[in-house]
Amino acid sequence: MAVITPPSAAAEEEAMILQVVRDLVAEKVAPRAAEIDAKGEFPWDIQKLFAENDLLGIPFPAEYGGLGGSFLTYVKVVEEISKACASSALIVAVQELGALPIIIAGNHEQKQKYIPKLASGEWTAAYALTEPSSGSDAGTMRVRAERKGDKYVINGNKIWITHGGVADVIVVFAVTDPSKGPNGVSAFIVEKDFPGFKVGKLEKKMGIRGSPTVELIFDNCEVPVENLLGEEGTGFKTAMKVLDKSRPGIAAQAVGIAQGALDYAAAYARERIAFGKPIGQQQGIQFMLADMKVEVEASRLLLYEAARKCDEGSADLTLYAALAKLKAGDTAMKVTVDAVQILGGFGYSVEYPVERMMRDAKITQIYEGTQQIQRLVIARTLVGKWKPPATDGR
């Protein structure tokens, strides 16, 4: 006789949260998705909705005003929202991204000052790493931070900063010692009202149009010394630790987009009649849908495993974060392209959501580390990183 184990309190809480999310998505988010995309404006109403339902504080420590939920619950929430609207999902994902450096490297005073306001949604967050000449090669950044008395003065530009134009708090990475390479990079908490900080160009993008991506300009921007995160020179290590936890968030977005596209394509295939029967009864379409299903489920399993690694603090988290992001991003692109194909001409029309899903899917192969970077990370766990042999100086 099988023994039935009752669900744990954590599992029950997760189920309750996910049901709330599904209801909010069905009632409020999905009906707004096409408009958010068309207008290309940050959906403050959706941000307020998520804040009121405590969705922004799920992975934040309870001692600082968060829900203290698991990372696995967090990625499932991002996934659910992404099924309907990838831009709206980034409200949750980028809040976590911007707060992570403070959670990872911040002292008690910094966490006490910033995390409660981010967990509640009173403030929004952003993460500023990329520069015009420093994308995948983050160790070559040029934005400088020089200490002058009780302040650091930051100069330079950041680009492709998600939510940079609507954020109250931005974690900025800058060089404090150019002679040390990546070990000369430091991290700072910058508030939008600090002197010398301003928002530059707003990018016009293929997808995730409801998520503003901007240039940030630092012109003798003054940052109090107490807003240095950790010690000088530890910023690059902090950034890499953040990516280990933010990449599964993007994988969750990708899985959600793919599932949303698969759901829509399958429903369409059940109803669309061609050659006397639903196209879902045609073997060619059946095989496409079957392959889409396999890829989505495989991606989800990798995603959830990476999330568990985050919760456990596993030594191989970097590998699994890369595996999940790589697989899910490629799956999102393939599944959405196939969904457009299944809908035919209708799939190419903005009146149907799959073309938006296809445009949104592409970014999951690019940000938080390109797919090529993920492959590099994965390969290095197998064969190591090449170090040229030492020379004798001749």
Residues of the chain with CATH 1.20.140.10: 237-383
- Per-residue pLDDT in tens (0 to 9) along the chain, 394 residues: 555 656 677 889 999 999 999 999 999 999 999 999 999 999 999 999 999 999 999 989 999 999 999 999 999 999 999 999 999 999 999 999 999 999 999 999 999 999 999 999 999 999 999 999 877 776 789 999 999 999 999 999 999 999 999 999 999 999 999 999 999 999 999 999 999 999 999 999 999 999 999 999 999 999 999 999 999 999 999 999 999 999 999 999 999 999 999 999 999 999 999 999 999 999 999 999 999 999 999 999 999 999 999 999 999 999 999 999 999 999 999 999 999 999 999 999 999 999 999 999 999 999 999 999 999 999 999 999 888 887 765 5
Say if CB 93 and CB 33 are below 8 A apart. Answer: no
Q: Is 12 exposed, middle or buried (CB count within 10 Å of its CB: 0-12, 13-18, 19+)? A: exposed
**Integer angstrom CA distances of residue 243 from 28, 284, 289, 319, 394:** 30, 39, 32, 11, 41
Listed in sequence order, the DSSP H helices in 40-186 are 44-52, 71-82, 86-105, 108-120
Q: Give the other-Cβ count within 10 Å of 58's Cβ.
A: 25
**The domain 11-120 belongs to what CATH superfamily?**
Acyl-CoA dehydrogenase/oxidase, N-terminal domain (1.10.540.10)
Residues 6+ apart with CB under 8 A from 200: 157, 214, 215, 216, 217
Q: Compute the distance between CA of residue 191 and CA of residue 195 in angstroms, rounded to an integer.
A: 9
Please state at what angle helix 354-363 crosses helix 86-105, rounded to 10 degrees. Answer: 20
Q: Using CA of residue 318, residue 321, residue 325, residue 327, what is the dihedral sign?
A: positive
| Residue 1: strand, helix, or coil | coil
Domain 125-233 CATH assignment equals 1.10.3430.10: no
**What pLDDT, on a 0 to 100 scale, did the predictor assign at position 5?**
57
Q: Is 368 a catalytic residue?
A: yes
Do you know the residue count of the chain?
394
Q: Compute the distance between CA of residue 164 and CA of residue 200 in angstroms, rounded to an integer.
A: 9
Q: Give the strand pairing for 273-274 and 277-278.
A: antiparallel
**What pLDDT, on a 0 to 100 scale, did the predictor assign at position 37?**
98
Among the options 14, 96, 295, 368, which is catalytic? 368
Residues of the chain with CATH 1.10.540.10: 11-120
Fold exhibited by the domain 237-383:
Butyryl-CoA Dehydrogenase, subunit A; domain 3 (1.20.140)
Q: Compute the distance between CA of residue 353 and CA of residue 41 in angstroms, rounded to an integer.
A: 18
**What pLDDT, on a 0 to 100 scale, did the predictor assign at position 3?**
56
Please state at what angle helix 235-271 crosses helix 71-82, rounded to 10 degrees. Answer: 40
Read off the tokens for 171: 């974690």
Q: Compute the distance between CA of residue 235 and CA of residue 347 in angstroms, rounded to an integer.
A: 44
Residues of the chain with CATH 2.40.110.10: 125-233
∠ CA 57-58-59 to the nearest 5 degrees? Answer: 100
